Chains A and B, each alone.
Chain A
Amino acid sequence: MKFKDKHRFVRSNMKKNRTRVWMTILASTIGCAFLIMLASIGFAIHKTAVNDVMSFRMVNEIQVVKENGRMTEKDVKKLEQVKGVKTVTRKKYVPANQLSLGEYHNFADVMSAHVPSEEKAGFELEKGRMPKAKNEIVVGYHFAEELRKDLPEGLSEEETQKKMKEFSYKGDLLNETLKYHLTTAGPENKAEGPVKTVDVKIVGIGKKPTREWARDNSVFITEELYHEVISVLRKQDPKIISDNELKSYGEVKAFTATAEDVKEVTDRIEKLEYMTYSIIKELKEMNVYFTLFKAGLIFIGAIAVLIASIGIFNTMTMAVTERSQDIGIMKAIGATPKTIKRIFLLESAYIGLWGVGLGTILAYITSYGVNFVLPIIIEQFVNEKPPEGFMLSYIPWSLTLIAVTICMGVTLLSGWRPAAKATTVDVLKALRRDV
Chain B
Amino acid sequence: MISVSNLSYAFKIGKKGKENIIPVLHDVNLQVAEGEIVAVVGRSGSGKSTLLNLISGFIQSEVGSITINGTDVSKFSESKWAEFRLNHLGFIFQSFQLIPSMSAFENVELPLVLKGVSVTERKKKAEEMLKRVGLESFQHHYPGELSGGQQQRVSIARALILNPPLILADEPTGSLDSENEKQLLSFVKELNEKYGITFLMITHDHEVASIAHRKVEIIDGYLREEKTLHEVQR
Contacts and interface: CB of A to CB of B under 8 A. Distances in A.
Interface of A: 1-2, 5, 12, 16, 325-326, 329-339, 427-428, 431, 433
Contacts of A339: 114
A418 to B, nearest CB: 18
A332 B114 contact: no
B114 A333 contact: yes
Contact of A333 (B78, B79, B111, B116): B111
Interface stretch (B1-9, B86-94, B174-182, B211-219): B86-94
Contacts of A16: 101
28 contacts: A1-B114, A2-B113, A12-B101, A16-B101, A326-B101, A329-B97, A329-B98, A330-B114, A331-B82, A332-B58, A332-B91, A332-B97, A333-B91, A333-B111, A333-B158, A334-B82, A334-B85, A334-B86, A334-B87, A334-B89, A334-B111, A335-B82, A335-B114, A336-B78, A339-B114, A428-B59, A431-B93, A433-B95
Given A336-B82, A431-B97, A1 B58 contact: no
A431 B94 CA distance: 10
A16 B102 CA distance: 12
A427 B58 contact: yes
A334 B85 CA distance: 5
Secondary structure at chain B's binding surface: helix, strand, loop or mixed? helix
Given A334-B84, A433-B95, 6 more contacts: A12-B101, A325-B99, A330-B99, A332-B97, A335-B86, A431-B58
B145 interface: no
B114 A334 contact: yes
B86 A333 contact: yes
B85 A329 contact: no
Given A5-B113, A427-B58, A329 B99 contact: yes
Contact of A337 (B79, B89, B101): B79
Contacts of B56: 332
Closest 9 pairs between A and B when the two form their complex, measured CB to CB: A334-B86, A334-B85, A336-B82, A336-B79, A427-B58, A5-B113, A2-B116, A326-B99, A329-B97
B110 interface: yes
Nearest to A331: B82
Given A326-B101, A334-B87, A336-B79, A428 B58 contact: yes
Contacts, number: 62
Interface in B180-204: none
Nearest to A4: B119
B163 to A, nearest CB: 14
Interface of B: 53, 56, 58-59, 78-79, 82-87, 89, 91, 93, 95, 97-99, 101, 110-111, 113-116, 158
Contacts of A337: 78-79, 82
Nearest to A6: B113
A425 to B, nearest CB: 11
A334 B101 contact: no
Contacts of A331: 82
Given A326-B101, A337-B78, A427-B58, A1 B86 contact: no
A138 to B, nearest CB: 74
A329 B59 CA distance: 15
B71 to A, nearest CB: 15
B59 A333 contact: no
Contacts of B53: 428
A333 B110 contact: yes
B101 A332 contact: no
Contacts of A335: 82, 86, 114
A330 B113 CA distance: 11
B114 A338 contact: no
Highest count of chain A CB atoms <10 Å: which of B97, B98, B101: B97
Contacts of A433: 95
A334 B115 CA distance: 9
A330 B95 CA distance: 15
Nearest to B98: A329
Contacts of A329: 97-99
Nearest to B80: A336
Contacts of A330: 99, 110, 114
A1 B116 contact: yes
A433 B96 CA distance: 12
A2 B93 CA distance: 27
B113 A1 contact: yes
A116 B142 CA distance: 85
A427 B56 CA distance: 11
Nearest to B117: A2
A351 to B, nearest CB: 19
Highest count of chain A CB atoms <10 Å: which of B91, B114, B115: B114
A251 to B, nearest CB: 72
B188 to A, nearest CB: 19
A382 B40 CA distance: 91
Contacts of A2: 113, 116
A277 B81 CA distance: 70
Contacts of B89: 334
A338 B86 CA distance: 14
Highest count of chain B CB atoms <10 Å: which of A2, A16, A334: A334
B128 to A, nearest CB: 19
A330 B86 CA distance: 10
Contacts of A325: 99
Contacts of A428: 53, 58-59
